[in-house]
Amino acid sequence: MGHSNTEVDVDHIIWPNGKRIVLLAEGRLANLCCSSLPSFVVSKMDEYVASLHLPTFDAHLTELTDEQAKYLGLNKVGPFKPNYYRY
């Protein structure tokens, strides 16, 4: 059995009979090996990680009042940026 690695996270396994298998991510979940994530995933992760760091700086976030949320046309708990917003 032969083996070649032509791309990052892409392996070609060649069996003795000549048949090939293209193996992504060494058999792991392919969505965990991709080189980039959709922007909305990153923004949610960034917001979450930032929220975890707030106590380190003795900081906190204020929540919108019902009146503020209604005025801005937003849900009180988010999301606060439209889907088309890019970081």
Residue 13 lies in a domain: yes
- List, for residues 25-58, the tens digit of each pLDDT value: 766 665 555 556 555 566 777 878 888 999 998 9
Residue 9 lies in a domain: yes
- Tell me the C-alpha distance between 43 and 73, whole Å: 20
Contact between 3 and 13 under an 8 Å Cβ cutoff? The reply is yes
Residue 16 lies in a domain: yes
* Predicted local confidence at residue 67, as pLDDT: 95
Residue 75 lies in a domain: no
* Domain span holding position 14: 2-26
Residue 62 lies in a domain: no
Residue 19 lies in a domain: yes
Lookup: tokens for 22:
């293209």
The one-letter amino acid code at 16 reads P
How many distinct structural domains can be found in the chain?
A: 1
* Predicted local confidence at residue 11, as pLDDT: 82
Residue 83 lies in a domain: no
Residue 10 lies in a domain: yes
Between 4 and 50, the more confident residue is: 50
